[in-house]
Chains A and B, each alone.
Chain A
Amino acid sequence: MSTIQSSESQEIHPDVALVERARAGELAAFDQLVRQYERQVFRIAQHITQNREDAQDVVQDAFFKAYQKLEQFQGNSKFYTWLVRIAVNEALMRLRKRRTAKTVSMDEDVQTEDGSLPRDFADWTPNPEQQYKQAELKEILQKTIQGLPPGFRTVFTLRDVEGLSTEETAEALNLSIPAVKSRLLRARLQLRERLSRYFRSTKEATAEGASK
């Protein structure tokens, strides 16, 4: 009896029904899935590749691959997490092509910079969103995230920008949960350190400069 109750109360994600219909040949159902997720996939792709044209190609290729591989989607994970995994692989492949001589993977550069020891202890006042115009702020944010190694950038994007859980991020990137946590911490601290160059309180910075 309790089994029946628990299976009845278990919610089925609406994407599962769309996937089923698409598998049965209903293209409109897949169209709906594409509409639902293409903006997110585009953002993720551009965060990883840092190139608009590449990001567009990644979106196209990722959805096309997902369509072709729909039968392989097991339903153990969310459709979106499965799709993100395809998109991340495509994006890393594009990045690799751009830097022909260099290998790009989730492991690249993650050991090379120690982001775990904060050096900047100045507060950000006034709030950066008040301090800078929207366009300037965007430029700073883009420039700063561009400087992160791809492995850190990807984890930060999925977890903090797109709001995936740690478990979903681990699944999408084929990483262990401790690896996601460790990269996320270092990505956050490195970004914080780099942004401090722009946002640190001018009052404290001036006082520090005067004391040198």
Chain B
Amino acid sequence: MNCTEFIAQLDELFERHNIQQQLRAELRTHLSTCDHCVVTYNTTRQTIEIYRNNELYELPDDLHEKLHSAIMERCAKSKKPC
């Protein structure tokens, strides 16, 4: 496996379901020999984690309640679901 093939299949290393063992083993083998791909793998993993761990768009409680009331008011005024 070369670097281009590694990058094309990189997502396999982040998969939690339907893992392809053979492919994963090949990716790991490439990683053990390529420093550049180690950096790409590590920083891509950090990219995913940093977005997952930091909630960028929080909904403050007061706005949440206002929004919730507005939704339910609209639904109550409309007909029963059809």
> How far in angstroms is the closest Cβ of chain B from A33?
10
Interface status of B23 (Cβ within 8 A of chain A): no
**Given the complex, which residues of A lie within 8 Å of B67, measured CB to CB?**
38, 42, 56, 59-60
Residue of B11, B52, B72, B81 most packed against chain A (CB within 10 A): B81
In the complex, which residue of chain B has the Cβ closest to the Cβ of A188?
B44
In the complex, which residue of chain A has the Cβ closest to the Cβ of B42?
A123
Number of interface residues of A (CB under 8 A): 58
Cross-chain contact A145 with B59 (CB below 8 angstroms): no
Cross-chain contact A141 with B56 (CB below 8 angstroms): yes
**Given the complex, which residues of A lie within 8 Å of B50, measured CB to CB?**
128-129, 137, 141, 195
Cross-chain contact B47 with A181 (CB below 8 angstroms): no
Contacts A39-B59, A68-B82, A191-B47 given; does A30 touch B75 at CB 8 Å: yes
**Given the complex, which residues of A lie within 8 Å of B11, measured CB to CB?**
181, 184-185, 188
> How far in angstroms is the closest Cβ of chain B from A203?
14
Q: CA A122 – CA B54 in complex, angstroms?
A: 23
Q: CA A27 – CA B69 in complex, angstroms?
A: 13
Number of interface residues of B (CB under 8 A): 38
Interface string of A126-151 (1 = CB under 8 A from B): 01110000100110011001000000
**Given the complex, which residues of A lie within 8 Å of B7, measured CB to CB?**
116-118, 189
Interface string of B47-82 (1 = CB under 8 A from A): 110111111110100011001101110111010111
In the complex, which residue of chain A has the Cβ closest to the Cβ of B48?
A160
> How far in angstroms is the closest Cβ of chain A from B58?
8
Q: CA A122 – CA B50 in complex, angstroms?
A: 17
**Given the complex, which residues of A lie within 8 Å of B82, measured CB to CB?**
68, 71
In the complex, which residue of chain B has the Cβ closest to the Cβ of A184?
B11
Contacts A39-B59, A46-B57, A188-B11 given; does A161 touch B47 at CB 8 Å: no
Cross-chain contact A145 with B71 (CB below 8 angstroms): no
In the complex, which residue of chain A has the Cβ closest to the Cβ of B8?
A116
Cross-chain contact A67 with B39 (CB below 8 angstroms): no
Contacts A39-B64, A67-B75 given; does A161 touch B39 at CB 8 Å: no
Interface status of B46 (Cβ within 8 A of chain A): yes
Interface status of B29 (Cβ within 8 A of chain A): no
Q: CA A116 – CA B44 in complex, angstroms?
A: 12
- Offer 6 A-B interface pairs, CB within 8 angstroms, sorted by A: A56-B67, A60-B70, A63-B71, A64-B78, A69-B81, A195-B47
